[in-house]
Amino acid sequence: MIFIKLLFSRHFNFSFIIFSSMWDSLKWKTVGTIQHVYGAQHPPFDPLLHGTLIKPGSKPPTTPVKLKKVSTFQEFESNTSDAWDLGDDDDELLAIAAENLNTEVVMETAHKVIQNHSKLQEQHKFQEEHLQEEKQVESAELTSIDNRLVKSVSEGHTSSSSDNASESSSMQRSQSLPQTSTPPLVSGMGDCNTSVTPALTEREASRLDKFKQLLAGPNTDLEELRKLSWSGIPKRVRPSAWKLLSGYLPANVDRRESTLQRKRKEYFAFVEQYYDSRNDENHQDTYRQIHIDIPRMSPEVLRLQPKVTEIFERILFIWAIRHPASGYVQGINDLVTPFFVVFVCEYIEEEEVENFDVSSLPEEVLQNIEADSYWCMSKLLDGIQDNYTFAQPGIQKKVKMLEELVSRIDEQVHRHLDQHEVKYLQFAFRWMNNLLMREVPLQCTIRLWDTYQSEPEGFSHFHLYVCAAFLVRWRKEILEEKDFQELLIFLQNLPTVHWGNEEISVLLAEAYRLKFAFADAPNHYKK
């Protein structure tokens, strides 16, 4: 028998406590207790999916389950004690609750608890906004007083409040800029943005310390680094982490410096050997296409710098000459950009790398960035080179797999596209060719690549599930479009200009869920 006792307090109208073992099992239902955690160790998980994939049902499974995957999930489940861990007895307890509890009473009580919780949240939010407004008013008053002290009496009568604000902001910017024209060089882990980055939260500082300890060890545990990097890499340690995750640098700390020197020297030996042949009859078509494509890359400010254009031309031409099976293909030019931007950040203190004048860096630093970008891009392309060979069979295959996957996870969206004769190749080819770089802002791409480099076959296999989650993300907008032309225009110009890390984290979480459901279930995946 389940007893319910009503307790009254000053802050809440009433709440109820259920005395029985059922309370322990149902306490995950309490409002506010679920905390979403995204990462390799704590992926998002749907309880309904949990129930259908893991628990044995009444019907025998049609697809044999791989023991390795079951073992991996059991290990994950045993280490998780939050809302995803339903337990074995929950179904029975829920059945007992359904029989013994009056549904109307339970729903009414739950509704009131939710209302009380929402009111408390609104009050807390209002108090925070009020305090923030008071701080802004005080700051404005102090700024106005300082400006009046500095200016003369006549200037004080003629100046406007907007002039005061611009003077204050320019003063702050001048204080945050480096004192010398040449940015300081940083070896190893670059302390990028130390002078302009806002104070880290306690969680961010803790994660940064974990990365630094892991990278500073005599032999970096690459598996642990992948797990830690899945949910994003702090900007200050991203250059070193990417070089390790891509396989460019060895795990042993003592060997890293010698490896860097050797690989950089090797790259410029290629440049000396091959780059002068760019105007030869055999190679001039390749070089001309590279020269045409570079101005099309993103971001706009970065691509217009002559020094950047020169560096990208060398990187792409050397790669094309050394990989004759594919040569240069449109789209490869975009794949250099994230590496280049991340490695530039290792040596500068600017907040927005895209607006930084690259030519102000010393020549030696630019050579290091160029060589590192070349080798890391080469490591990436080694895993997806069939995307860029003749007829691009890798992309053709992935687009077909995307179509089959979407038909399973959202049949209504798939049928809607089919009814309006929209082919997946018409919009998804670019998603595969450019790894979504043309669909999301550059900083979102960099965050996306943190996870791609942490996943096995991230740029090839996991990218498929990211594209599926990305398409279904626009389900409502797609179903509202009733015309072929409007549908295609929307899918080729998705409104992601204001996206940030939060949207990318949600996208990656959904992609992980889809991978867990379909990656090892071929009978569910194929028609």
DSSP letter at 521? -
On whether the CB atoms of residues 339 and 452 are closer than 8 A, the answer is no
Per-residue model confidence as pLDDT tens for the chain (527 residues): 443 433 344 343 444 433 344 444 444 444 444 444 444 444 554 444 444 444 444 444 444 444 444 455 555 555 544 444 444 444 444 444 444 444 555 456 556 656 665 666 666 666 666 666 666 655 555 444 444 433 333 344 334 444 444 444 443 433 333 333 333 333 333 334 433 455 778 888 999 999 999 999 899 999 999 999 999 999 999 999 999 999 999 999 999 999 999 999 999 999 999 999 998 888 989 999 999 999 887 766 576 789 999 999 999 999 999 999 889 998 899 999 999 999 999 998 766 677 788 999 999 999 999 999 999 999 999 999 899 998 899 999 999 999 999 999 999 999 999 999 999 999 999 999 999 999 999 999 999 999 999 998 999 999 999 999 999 999 999 999 999 999 999 999 999 999 999 999 999 999 999 999 887 765 655 55
C-alpha to C-alpha distance for 2 and 4, rounded to whole angstroms: 7
CA distance 108 to 161: 53
Question: What is the distance between the alpha carbons of residues 407 and 416, in angstroms, rounded to a whole number?
Answer: 10
3-class DSSP state of 296: helix
Identity of the residue numbered 157: H
Continuous H helices in 246-386: 253-274, 284-293, 300-303, 306-322, 332-344, 363-382
Structure tokens of 207? 């994660």
Query: Whole-angstrom distance between the N-terminal and C-terminal Cα of the chain?
Result: 49
Q: Tokens 């990462």 sit at which residue?
A: 39
Residue 304 DSSP symbol: T
Pairwise CA distance, residues 438 & 161, whole Å = 41
What's the distance, CA 440 to chain centroid? 10
* Closest residue by Cα to residue 366 from 344, 342, 388, 345: 344
